[in-house]
Every structure is written in structure tokens, then in C-alpha cells.
Structure 1
Amino acid sequence: MRASLIVALAAATASASPLSLPELTSSGGYGYVRSPDRSVSLTSPRPHDYIDVSKLPKNFDWRNVNGTRYVSISRNQHIPHYCGSCWSFAATSALADRILIFKERNPGNKPSVEVHRGVVLSPQVILNCDKKDNGCHGGDQLEAYRYIKEHGVPEEGCQRYAATGHDTGNTCTDMDVCENCLPSKGCFPQKSYDKYYVSEVGTTLGEQQMMAEIYARGPIACSVAVTDGFLKYSGGIFDDKTNATDVDHAISIVGWGEENGVPFWVLRNSWGSFWGESGWMRLVRGVNNVGVEGECAFGVPRDDGWPTPTKIEEKEEDKVKEPQEETSVESTLGGCRQKLHFAGGERVISPLPHETMDVTDLPKSWDWRDVNGKNYVTWDKNQHIPKYCGSCWAQGTTSALSDRISILRNASWPEIALSPQVLINCHAGGTCNGGNPGLVYEYAHRHGIPDQTCQAYQAKNLQCDQFAICETCWPSKESFTPGVCEPIKKFAKYYVSEYGSVSGAERMKAEIYKRGPIGCGVHATSKFESYTGGIYSEHVMFPLINHEISVAGWGYDEETDTEYWIGRNSWGTYWGENGWFRIQMHHNNLGIEQDCDWGVPLPDGSKPNDFVVDYQGNEAETMVVLHSSDDQCHLFTDVFGRLLQLLLGCIAIFLLYIKRKLEFPIRPIKVWAMDVSKQSLGAFYIHCISVILSIVMIAASTENYDEVRK
């Protein structure tokens, strides 16, 4: 796509004044490249053959059908580099929408949580492996659907978008389709995961065929001609007056409507939420404006939208992608999730849920993934790709906050998924070497957090400069891809009005029920890493919190008479139960009820009423996270603190013993001990007791920390 610096959308408005746009070269900007092969593969009747289009509703929009949002999250193809991948985004976004539509129409005997779960498909796999298209130098959504029909496509948690393709040197090995990364062994192909296929591939031509196809089976992928007006679009019904129909960009269309007698299409772009109307556009309908009513493409989800399990055999060339750069702390301790701490103290300005409600009246089961048939949780993530990164402290908190925004907005469009990479960039609690989730809420209160279309997750520590919060990229005269990037000046940020801690099952239930998911620390063990499903339990005498997750509900298993928590991890959807887990309540649960956190977001992008300018310096980082020259997290985590305490205690005892032996070498130990007791302060005895407790705690933990990740 002919992209440049796109219009920025102000935080609290639907449109904003466009920023200055760089001059585009004639050699750059064409992301849609028409394939000469226009063949289709159809086995079922076409909707326009059996639907009377004249009887379709005047307004129909998959963003809201009977109160349910069927469309997936907005994307930005232009970060972290410029890449002409619009065709891949248009195809995968429209297909992801259709998968949810088809599953809800044909639930079979599947659990309702799985029926309502939306997916985000990986455009990166198409860029890596669809050799009939040109990767970041352009392609055709019709070819993308042909690839998916033959090979399938996994979710984003298998392969993160990197704005690269086979044209820029990427390969298409098993690892380039679905990977996992560990600090001890680098990156490697994931052996089992799900793929989604299409059973049919087709095209539409003209307004009536488009409307029938969208209404019957869901969004479609179309092409448009990008004009200067299109680039600068900031809201309203767009009507290009240049008569341009030479299409060079791909988008998806999810519905139509009419306003003041003007018919329009509802169009989804892939240029970030700061462009247009939260990343979307209304385009005049019925006159082939910017060529939109030419040939569009679609795929029909196979197996009613349900995935196909995939298993691979490990190949020698796929065993390790690259060694990890930052492994010493991670491989030693399995994470640096520090004990929850708020540098400025907790901020509680309204009554706490457990103070205002009778917890005994709560239901036996509560799950924000399925409340009266509606899913309120946001997309599932994988912190460990494209490389291993100890960012659980940023993932669990942003997932919980994003879910709470969704709850406050009644799961309406658009889905807001906050960016964990911004928190990593600006050390808002930590880095890829771990951090303190409490400081995420303090940062969100003072600065706000943008959504993921502002800053792509790259799983690495970056500088907190003007690009670190919100950026976009475009082709230059010197480089089509990766091009050059520029910070966005106006964009939506989401703030937190209050925040605090919570512990104990009853108080956690009240907080979750009243206000939504919470973040919690757990002791991630090697056994927990291997979890594949069911109600998990593990006895750890003294849990050492080293990993942050979010908790979105609870349940009760009648067969085993067991209460359990419903938790979301950030290790990809191939882990556990589609990235989630159930764990026993009250005991044998890795300390999940000991150290939890919550924040109350402002869903409209407004600032807190008491918002003040932050004081100088990045206090969140300097007060809690200690760094050495190589940016490693060292002291004051649970494990490091206890090890240091043990070491210092042993040294103190040894030195005192040597000192007394040198002074009175022939006196018996009993007399020496009495002398020490007379001279020592009470602190000495307290320290000895602390040392003994430390020995017990460390001995009680039998886990191999080399194999534990946060």
C-alpha cells in the first residue's frame, strides 16, 4: 500500500487533523499486486444466487450484529518496518472474522467458551511461505486464500508479525510457521498447534454480489486505489472525486450502511487505530469509488471454522533458530517477576468490591470469556516470540486492563488491546529481564498506554525515545522496505484511575466479578510449563513468585468437588487450553492467591481527574528495578533476596566464630557461645532465625530453576 505517515487520531475524538505527509515516489507503495490467475474453487451455492439483495437491511455491520462484535482486532502493517503486506492482512482479518461467525452458527457440542473465542490469524506466515506472491513487495488476497486452502494458517501466537517476508530473506521452515523460544535453548519449531483452513476460494464482482456474500458468510477482502484523500482520511463518509480505479491496496469490508441518504461501505484498513475512524473507514457505496466494487476475494472456513490439530516432526535444521541474548537471570531463576510493589503506594479512591458485596452470594462459576453468551476478553498473546523475553509483568497486566476496558465498553467495537512493548521500551516496571507489575498501573495512571497498533511487540528492550510510544513507517526513495519511520503525534492512550493489590480467594472473586480480570503472580514450575489441560494442582511448600498471569474467573467441578481459578497465560495458544489454564483454588495452586494486582481503566481515553504532570526522571524504573551494565535484573526478587540473606548470614556466623576462636583458641564452644550471647544484640538472633528460615524455604523448593521461565 501506498502508505506514508497516516493521519493521527486524537485520543478522545473520532477524527483529527491530518499530519504532514511525505512525498511518495512512483516506485513505492503498491501492496496489492494482481495475480494473473483468477481461478476459483467453489462447491456450494453462491449467496447472490439465493438471496434477494433488495430485501437486505439498509444497515448491516459485523462490528455489531444483535449486540455481538464479530470482527477481530485492528492491525498496523507498517510497524516495526514498512511492509507492503496489505493483501495478507486483508485476507487473514476477513477470515478470522468468518471463523468466529461460522463457529457461533455451528457450535456442535463444543464448550461455549471455545465457541465464543475469537482468533487472530498470522499474516506473517503468508508473507514467509506464499511464494506465488511477493511478500512485503505486494501480493493478492486471492492467492493468500489459495495458500490457506492448501497449507492452512496458524494464529498470531505461532508467528508474530515482523513486517518481513520471503522477499526480504525469510525462509519457510517449520519454525517459520510456528515457533517457541526458551532461554535455555533458543527458538525452535512448535511440535503441536492448530491451523485454520478454507474449503472454498471465490470472488465477487459488483455491489450486489458483495452485499450477499458479506451478509451470508462474513467479511470479504477487496482492493482500492489509494489517493491523497484516502491517505489523509480522518472520518466521515469518504467520496473520492479523482475517479481513480487503478487499485493498489487491499482492505476488508465488513458491512454497509446509509447516513443522510448516502450509502456507504464499512471498510477495515491495516494502518493502525490512529488512521481514519479508529483504523476504519466509511466509503461511499454503489459507484465503484476508488475501484472498491471491482473483484473482491473470500475464503469459506473449513469444518465450520474449527481448527485442525497439527503435529510436526523435529528436523535437524529447525532445532535452534538462534541463541538468546539475555539468559543468565532467566535461565537461573525462571523469571524476574518481582513482588508486587507500588512506588507511590496503592491508589484506592472507591470502595473495594469485597467491602460492598456479600461474597457468599457470588455464583459457583464465573468466566469473563462467556457471560450470557458474550466474550469480554481480548486476544491471546505469546511473550516468547519472536525471541524469548521475560515480559510477563507487562503481558498479564495489559491483558487484564484490556479485558476491563472491553467490559466497560460491553465488548463493543473496537477491541482495545494495550501494547506491552511500550512498557518494556520505557521501563514502566521492568524490561525483558523481568519487572514489577505494580509499576505498570502507576505508569498507566500518569502516562497512559496506547494500543498495539502504535507499537508492535518485538520481544526486546528498546530505547524510550519518541518512536517508543507510537510510530508508523512508509517507503522512501532509498528503501521501499524497511523504509523509514516517524513518531505519531496524536493517538489514543488509555489511563488507569485507581489501582491496588488483592489477595485471598474471597476478595479475588469479588474484585473479578465486580470489575473484571486481575493480574496475579504464580510460582511457574517445570511441571506447570508442561501443562496441557485439566484442573492443575501442585504442592510447593513455599511458592516463590516468578511469573505474572491474569485471572478471569473461577469454576466448580462437580465430579471432583473442586473449585478452581480460570487463568490466562502469555505463552501462546498452543500451551494449555488455548493459552489458558484452570488451577485448584485455596491450596496447591503455585501461590496464585498471594500476590495479585488490579487497576480500573478509563475506557474512553480520558485522563484521570487528578492527572498531574509526572516528575522528572523515570522513577518507576529507577526505584524498583536495579540494572547492571548489561541490563540484568539482580537483587530484591524473592529468590535473590533469600539467597543473599543466606550468604550474608553464613558469612557473619563464620567470621564471628573465627574471631572468638582466635581470641580464645582453647575455650570450648559452649563458653564461646555464651560470650557471643552477652555481646550480641537482639538483631543477631533475629538474623540467625531468618537464616534458618531461608534454608528451609530454599530446601523446600525442589524445582529446577534452570528449566522454569516466568
Structure 2
Amino acid sequence: MYPDTVMDRIVANSLIDVHRAKAIKRRQLASNTLTVDAEMKTLLLLCCLAVAVYCGCNDNVESTLDKFRNREIDAEAAELDGDELINYVNNNQDLWRAKKQRRFTSVYGENDKAKWGLMGVNHVRLSVKGKQHLSKTKDLDIDIPENFDSRDNWPKCQSIQNIRDQSSCGSCWAFGAVEAMSDRICIASHGELQVSLSADDLLSCCRSCGFGCNGGDPLAAWRYWVKDGIVTGSNYTANSGCKPYPFPPCEHHSKKTHFDPCPHDLYPTPKCEKKCIADYTDKTYSEDKFYGASAYGVKDDVEAIQKELMTHGPLEIAFEVYEDFLNYDGGVYVHTGGKLGGGHAVKLVGWGIEDGIPYWTCANSWNTDWGEDGFFRILRGVDECGIESGVVGGVPKLNRVSARLHRHHRRHVHHSDIDN
């Protein structure tokens, strides 16, 4: 019996060891499970906190924007002008600063026709026809950052940094167009093509665009780029390119006086000259043209505008200009007082948030003496003054340009070989 008893004990002990091992393994599995559960719960908590913060920020922004939606300007404030308007703006809000601009006071004085003639857009919002061909970038699935600035995103493209001067001509619609087109050519070519398209060529030769110095249509300007093309041309002072701007810059702001005052009346629209200036011998007028591959409107939606800007670069936008905007001296503009004067077109370069206030960043064509070194910011998200309802753009046709530049290069090499 003894051997059996010993054997029984051995078997029993072995079984006990097996049970102990299983128990230890179960405890280890339970511990690992608890660790994994704890990690998952921590991760889930962090995600919830992130979502809560994001939603909280969005709720705060929406709450802020709600104060500006469908607001009405006080009837008396709408009739103010001059110092009374400036004082009213500065005393009744703290988003932006107003300051008397010599450009719009002592130069034009009571000549409202000339002053408002600078606002050369009759219809700031896209037409029904314009809405039938909208940019497809609105359907892209891309992350939209809180802040975006084309000047920083495409630092190789100098044209994005530039501020032009439309002088005393209602050519804002042409300037907003050629500025954004120039930027988009550079961006699409990855910085290889640095050009400045001619505001004069578009202004004087596009019959379908409108009335030259007396105003035009932004979308028609982009369609002209596709159909007829636009040559190069700098501002008046640089006098470079095929067709530089014919009108000199003028003083737009009292804090700097390195430009002469604007004339009291608008310049007449220049004659359409389909030839380059005598000093420009690089290419002929037809050889110098850049073309667009497409022209379109952009959906009147903040995210749609942001996606298009991030994908292809600066855009042309139109909005309503009131008396108080003329006195803008920095900050995030919100219409506060003064009468409606006209429609204006500018270049959109980015967006951001300052102290919980979302804004668009735009380049104006009133020289660097005005606003924030020629740029301005305006409230984003409530279609302030129609700023989100009249956005247009297009894509450049680079293959044609590349082929032309290649032919031009070969021709110069051939002449060089002959000379040698």
C-alpha cells in the first residue's frame, strides 16, 4: 500500500502545482487585463477631454459669432462720417481701430463720386450662373488648421507678400484678380514661375469684364484669363514687364507721406494696347501671355473657402464697403457705422483667431500706407459685409507656359551660338 500512497501523494502534489500555476496565470491575465483596461480608460478619457476642449472652443466661437449675426446698425450711427464716425467706432467696440485717412478726406473731400468710384464691384455676391460652376475642392477630406497664412505656407512666392496700388481708378476687381492669379502660378509651379500679371492688360482689354476704371466683375476677369490670357506687368514705379500699371501710386494714409496725393477725380480707363512697352524686349505681347485652365466660384461656406485657399492659394473676394472701413487702421474689422459706399474686391490670403474672434486676412490695393501695412483682417463666419458670398478663383495652365519658355530658351541659345 505504501508505494500506492506515495504515488497518490505525488500525483496529488502535482495536481496542486498545476492548479497553483493556473491560478497564478489567471491572476496575471486579470492583472494584464486590468492594466489594459486602465490604459484604455485613460486614453478614452484623454480623447473625451480633447473633444470637450474642441467642442468648448467651437461653442465659444459660435457664441461669439452669434452676437454679430443678423445685427442691426443703429440708424444714427449709419449716418455718421468724419471725426464723429471715427470717435463712435473707437468708443463702441474694441476689435479694430479707426483713424482719419488723408487719402479719403483731404484728397477727395466732398467728392463722394470719386471716393466711392474706387469701389469697382457692382455685385459682390456670386450670380446664379456663377454658382452653377463651383470649385470641387469643397468636397476634399482635409484637416483645416486654426490659423493659415499663404505668406508663410508658400514663402518662395514673393507675389503673395506684395501690396499694389490701384491709384485713382475703380480697378480693384482687376487687381484682386491678377494678384491672386500671379500667386497661383507661382504655387502651381512650386516657385519656379515668379510673375506679376498686368492689371492694366486686364483692366483695359477685357470688354466682357465691365467698364474699366468704372468697375468690373471679378468672375468675368478670371474667365478672361482662361479665354484670352494676361501678360506680365508691374506697378507704376517698377515699370517692368510687358504692360506695367499706367497710374502712379498715391498717398493713402497720413502716417507716411512718401507718395503724392491722389488726383481729385478718377482716371479714365486706359486704351487697350496689345503690345508691350518699348523697354520690354524679352517676348512679344502674345508670347508673354499666361492663361488659366479654369475659372470658378467658391461655395459661400467658410470650410469650402478654406479648402480652396489651402489647395490652390489666394483667392479674389468681393464685399460691401461702408464709410467706417475707409478709416481702418488695424484689428479685426466689423462694420460699426457709416453709410454703404460700394462693392470692393481684394485678395484673400489666410485666416486665424485672435482673442476668440475668427477672422480672414486680406491684401488690399491701397498701398502699404493703409491698414496693417496694406493688409486687413475682417470677421470670419458671419458673411460680414458679404465677404463669404463673392469668392472666385481658378487654376493656371502651366503646360502651355512651360512649352513657350522652352522655345524661348532654345531661341536665345540659337542666337547666342550665332553671335559666338
What is the TM-score with the length of structure 2 in the denominator?
0.59
Aligned equivalents of 1:289, 1:44: Cα separation in 2: 21
In the TM superposition, 1:367-378 aligns within 5 A as none
Aligned equivalents of 1:193, 1:284: Cα separation in 2: 42
What is residue 197 of structure 2 aligned with on the other side?
A: 121
**Aligned residues of 1:72 and 1:97 also touching (Cα < 8 A):** no
What is residue 161 of structure 1 aligned with on the other side?
A: 245
Q: Offset at 1:174? A: 2.5
Instruction: Give 3-state SS (helix, strand or coil) of 2:153's partner.
Output: coil
Cα deviation 1:624-659 (Å, max 9, x = unaligned): xxxxxxxxxxxxxxxxxxxxxxxxxxxxxxxxxxxx
Q: Offset at 1:51? A: 3.0
**Aligned residues of 2:357 and 2:379 also touching (Cα < 8 A):** yes
- 1:198 correspondence with 2:309: no
Instruction: Give 3-state SS (helix, strand or coil) of 1:249's partner.
Output: strand
Aligned equivalents of 1:290, 1:43: Cα separation in 2: 23
Q: Structure 1 residues 533, 233: closer, same or farther in 2, change over 3 A?
A: farther
What is residue 151 of structure 1 aligned with on the other side?
A: 228
Cα deviation 1:473-504 (Å, max 9, x = unaligned): xxxxxxxxxxxxxxxxxxxxxxxxxxxxxxxx
Aligned equivalents of 1:244, 1:77: Cα separation in 2: 23
- Out of 509, 524, 532, the position equivalent to 2:412 is 532
Q: Structure 1 residues 76, 45: closer, same or farther in 2, change over 3 A?
A: closer
Instruction: Give 3-state SS (helix, strand or coil) of 1:199's partner.
Output: strand
Aligned equivalents of 1:123, 1:272: Cα separation in 2: 15
Aligned equivalents of 1:34, 1:130: Cα separation in 2: 18
What is residue 271 of structure 2 aligned with on the other side?
A: 171
Q: Structure 1 residues 210, 173: closer, same or farther in 2, change over 3 A?
A: same
**Aligned residues of 1:196 and 1:307 also touching (Cα < 8 A):** no
In the TM superposition, 1:203-352 aligns within 5 A as 203-204=297-298, 205-242=300-337, 248-303=343-398, 306=401, 309=404
Cα deviation 1:251-281 (Å, max 9, x = unaligned): 0101111122111101010000111111101
Instruction: Give 3-state SS (helix, strand or coil) of 2:163's partner.
Output: coil
Paired AA for residue 215 in structure 2: G
**Aligned residues of 1:77 and 1:86 also touching (Cα < 8 A):** yes
What is residue 48 of structure 1 aligned with on the other side?
A: 138
Cα deviation 1:151-204 (Å, max 9, x = unaligned): 10011110011149xx936433422xx23259xxxx9x9366321111111112
Instruction: Give 3-state SS (helix, strand or coil) of 1:119's partner.
Output: coil
Aligned equivalents of 2:154, 2:127: Cα separation in 1: 39
**Aligned residues of 2:218 and 2:316 also touching (Cα < 8 A):** yes
**Aligned residues of 1:99 and 1:304 also touching (Cα < 8 A):** no
What is residue 180 of structure 1 aligned with on the other side?
A: 278
Hey, which of these two has a bigger chunk of helix by percent?
A: 2
Give the percent of matched residue pairs that are identical in Structure 1 and Structure 2: 29
Q: Structure 1 residues 533, 278: closer, same or farther in 2, change over 3 A?
A: farther
Aligned equivalents of 2:133, 2:333: Cα separation in 1: 36
**Aligned residues of 1:180 and 1:190 also touching (Cα < 8 A):** no
In the TM superposition, 1:517-666 aligns within 5 A as 532-533=412-413
Q: Offset at 1:39? A: 3.4
What is residue 101 of structure 1 aligned with on the other side?
A: 187
Instruction: Give 3-state SS (helix, strand or coil) of 2:189's partner.
Output: helix
Aligned equivalents of 2:413, 2:164: Cα separation in 1: 31
Q: Offset at 1:45? A: 6.5
Aligned equivalents of 2:295, 2:145: Cα separation in 1: 26
- 1:65 correspondence with 2:160: no
Aligned equivalents of 1:16, 1:291: Cα separation in 2: 21
Cα deviation 1:34-69 (Å, max 9, x = unaligned): 3996535999961111235xx301011101017545
Instruction: Give 3-state SS (helix, strand or coil) of 1:264's partner.
Output: strand
Aligned equivalents of 1:243, 1:215: Cα separation in 2: 34
**Aligned residues of 1:72 and 1:120 also touching (Cα < 8 A):** no
Aligned equivalents of 2:154, 2:325: Cα separation in 1: 31
Q: Structure 1 residues 213, 191: closer, same or farther in 2, change over 3 A?
A: closer
Cα deviation 1:45-104 (Å, max 9, x = unaligned): 61111235xx301011101017545615210011xxx11100000000011111111001
**Aligned residues of 2:324 and 2:337 also touching (Cα < 8 A):** no
Q: Structure 1 residues 197, 220: closer, same or farther in 2, change over 3 A?
A: same
Q: Structure 1 residues 174, 59: closer, same or farther in 2, change over 3 A?
A: same
Aligned equivalents of 1:139, 1:267: Cα separation in 2: 19
Instruction: Give 3-state SS (helix, strand or coil) of 1:203's partner.
Output: strand
Q: Structure 1 residues 244, 217: closer, same or farther in 2, change over 3 A?
A: farther
Instruction: Give 3-state SS (helix, strand or coil) of 2:362's partner.
Output: strand
Q: Offset at 1:19? A: 3.7
**Aligned residues of 2:185 and 2:193 also touching (Cα < 8 A):** no
Q: Structure 1 residues 192, 221: closer, same or farther in 2, change over 3 A?
A: closer
**Aligned residues of 1:198 and 1:300 also touching (Cα < 8 A):** yes
What is residue 499 of structure 1 aligned with on the other side?
A: none
Q: Offset at 1:213? A: 1.0
Aligned equivalents of 1:214, 1:27: Cα separation in 2: 34
Q: Offset at 1:212? A: 1.4
Aligned equivalents of 1:17, 1:245: Cα separation in 2: 18
Structure 2: 5+ residue runs without aligned partners? Answer: 1-81, 87-96, 234-240, 249-266, 406-410
Aligned equivalents of 2:270, 2:198: Cα separation in 1: 15
Q: Offset at 1:308? A: 6.7
**Highest RCO, 1 vs 2 (Cα 8 Å, sep ≥ 6):** 2
What is the TM-score with the length of structure 1 in the denominator?
0.36
Aligned equivalents of 1:202, 1:180: Cα separation in 2: 35
Paired AA for residue 392 in structure 2: A
Cα deviation 1:331-382 (Å, max 9, x = unaligned): xxxxxxxxxxxxxxxxxxxxxxxxxxxxxxxxxxxxxxxxxxxxxxxxxxxx
Instruction: Give 3-state SS (helix, strand or coil) of 1:277's partner.
Output: coil
Paired AA for residue 85 in structure 1: S
Paired AA for residue 146 in structure 2: K
What is residue 164 of structure 2 aligned with on the other side?
A: 75
Paired AA for residue 232 in structure 1: N
Structure with the greater alpha carbon radius of gyration: 2
Q: How many residues align?
A: 284
Q: Structure 1 residues 308, 253: closer, same or farther in 2, change over 3 A?
A: farther
**Aligned residues of 2:135 and 2:297 also touching (Cα < 8 A):** no
Instruction: Give 3-state SS (helix, strand or coil) of 1:152's partner.
Output: coil
- Out of 174, 177, 182, the position equivalent to 1:88 is 174
Alpha-carbon RMSD:
3.7
- Out of 178, 199, 207, the position equivalent to 1:131 is 207
Instruction: Give 3-state SS (helix, strand or coil) of 1:171's partner.
Output: coil
Q: Offset at 1:287? A: 1.5
